Chains A and B, each alone.
Chain A
Amino acid sequence: EPEVTQTPSHQVTQMGQEVILRCVPISNHLYFYWYRQILGQKVEFLVSFYNNEISEKSEIFDDQFSVERPDGSNFTLKIRSTKLEDSAMYFCASSEVVWAASYEQYFGPGTRLTVT
Chain B
Amino acid sequence: RKEVEQDPGPFNVPEGATVAFNCTYSNSASQSFFWYRQDCRKEPKLLMSVYSSGNEDGRFTAQLNRASQYISLLIRDSKLSDSATYLCVVNGGSNYKLTFGKGTLLTVNP
Q: Which A residues have a C-beta under 8 Å from some C-beta of B?
A: 31, 33, 35, 41-45, 48, 50, 55-56, 58, 89, 91, 98-99, 101, 103-110
How many Å lie between the Cα of A108 and that of B96 in the bound state?
A: 17
Q: Interface extent on B, as a size class?
A: 20 to 34
Chain B residues in contact with chain A, CB under 8 A? 32, 34, 38, 41-46, 49, 87, 91, 94-103
Kindly list chain B residues whose C-beta atoms are within 8 Å of the C-beta of A31. 96
Which B residue's beta carbon lies closest to that of A100? B32
- What chain A residues lie within 8 Å of B94 (beta carbons)? 56
A50 to B45, CA, bound (A): 22
For A41, what are the chain B residues with a Cβ–Cβ distance below 8 Å?
102
Most B Cβ at <10 Å: residue of A43, A58, A91: A43
The list of the 3 closest CB pairs from A to B, nearest first, reads: A48-B96, A107-B43, A43-B100
> Are A104 and B46 CB-contacts (below 8 A) given A42-B103, A55-B96, A56-B94?
yes
Residues of A within 8 A of B103 (CB): 42
B63 vs chain A, min Cβ distance (A): 17
Q: Which B residues touch A109, using CB under 8 A? A: 42-43
Interface contact A58-B44, CB-CB below 8 Å:
no
Distance between Cα atoms of A106 and B47 in the complex (Å):
11
A56 touches B101 (CB 8 A): no
12 residue pairs A–B, Cβ–Cβ below 8 Å: A33-B96, A42-B103, A44-B100, A45-B99, A55-B96, A89-B41, A103-B95, A104-B34, A104-B46, A106-B46, A109-B43, A110-B43
